[in-house]
Amino acid sequence: MSSASYRDAVFTTPLDRIASFSFDEQVVACFPDMIRRSVPGYGQILGMLGVIAERHLRHGAHVYDLGCSLGAVGLALAGRLPPDAFTLTGVDLSPAMVERARSTLAEECPGHHIEIVEGDIRHLDYRPSGMIVLNFTLQFLAPGDRDAVIATLFEALEPGGVLVLSEKIVAADEQENAWLVERYHDFKRANGYSDLEISQKRTALENVLVPDTLDAHHARLSRAGFSRVTTWFQYLNFASMIAFKE
Ligand SMILES: Nc1ncnc2c1ncn2[C@@H]1O[C@H](C[S@+](CC[C@H]([NH3+])C(=O)[O-])CC(=O)[O-])[C@@H](O)[C@H]1O
Ligand SMILES: O=C(O)C(=O)Cc1ccccc1
């Protein structure tokens, strides 16, 4: 079992051919560093998820963390809520992520009821739940698959349940979007990434991470049946929404 975590150097050297970004062993080994240096507000969003769970979760309710990567959402909830407050299923498609999430959670929160399942969130048999979190995951699904997943999650939520959706977003206005993307690249530079790393990763993410506008997210959530949707967080071109089921 290797639990060492490395600095993200995935795109540091010039690559002849830039392969599509994938959540493989190389990414898993540096993922905590990669996501903290690349997603504005990542730590703040995780902290707030615990607060949202405290406020909205019925005692003992079930939580899904979809696209759980290394289980950060489960860890955040376990850090704020006692073991009997909730059960949680983390789901991820990447075997390397799942293997490491399991060992981390077993070590960090042994008393909590958290299981990690290797699977595709598009084809899961969901059980009734009080809270479903997609923390930067929907953006990796083919755009044509997104409506059906959100509709399924609406059905899985109990009345009073909440869906938290964090996403990289695109602004509809071209000038606004250009400014946000430029400042996002400045944010990455300030976090130690070189121009080469920024540009090679951007190429690797083309057609892999396809962002929607905030309006498209709100419209999709409304179509699925959510009566109220609030964007509770935005930092540059990264946002988090909460959708309420009546
Ligand atoms: N169809 C799918 N089914 C299951 N998992 C998937 C699928 N597609 C992609 N994934 C998984 O979604 C995760 C997205 S990362 C989430 C961060 C985490 N939530 C965090 O709070 O640290 C976000 C990012 O890296 O920007 C990866 O682990 C993929 O394997
Ligand atoms: O780095 C980027 O450009 C992002 O959009 C965030 C990100 C973080 C981790 C994996 C993939 C994308």
pLDDT at 1: 45
In this predicted structure, what is the pLDDT of residue 4? 83
User: What is the CATH number assigned to the segment(s) 42-170+208-244?
Assistant: 3.40.50.150
SS3 48: helix
Kind of pairing, strands 113-118 and 228-235?
unpaired
- Dihedral angle at the C-alpha atoms of 168, 147, 113, 50, nearest 10 degrees? 40
**Ligand 1 mean position, distance from CA 13 (Å):** 25
Residue ranges, the chain, pLDDT below 70: 1-3
pTM: 0.98
Which residues approach ligand 1 with their CB closer than 6 A? 23, 35, 67-69, 72-73, 91-94, 97, 120-122, 135-137, 140-141
Residue among 18, 24, 39 whose CB has most ligand 2 atoms within 8 A, to mutate: 39
**Ligand 2 pocket, Cβ-based, cut-off 6 angstroms:** 34-35, 38-39, 168, 201, 205, 209
Task: Please give the pLDDT value at position 228.
Answer: 98
pLDDT of residue 76: 98
Token pair recorded at residue 51 = 């607060």
What b/e readout covers 115-146, taking b as 16+ CB neighbours within 10 angstroms?
A: ebeeeebeebebeebbbbbbbbbbbbbeeeeb
**209: burial class by Cβ within 10 Å (0-12, 13-18, 19+)?**
middle
Measured in angstroms, how far is the CA atom of residue 209 from the centroid of ligand 2? 8
Indicate the pairing of strand 238-244 with strand 157-168: antiparallel
State the pairing for strand pair 238-244/228-235. Answer: antiparallel
What pLDDT does residue 98 have?
A: 98
Instruction: Tell me what pLDDT residue 50 has.
Output: 98
- Would you say how long the chain is, in residues? 246
Q: Let me know if 205 is exposed, middle or buried by CB neighbors in 10 A (0-12, 13-18, 19+).
A: middle
Domain boundaries, the chain: 42-170+208-244
Two structure tokens written together for 229: 């949707």
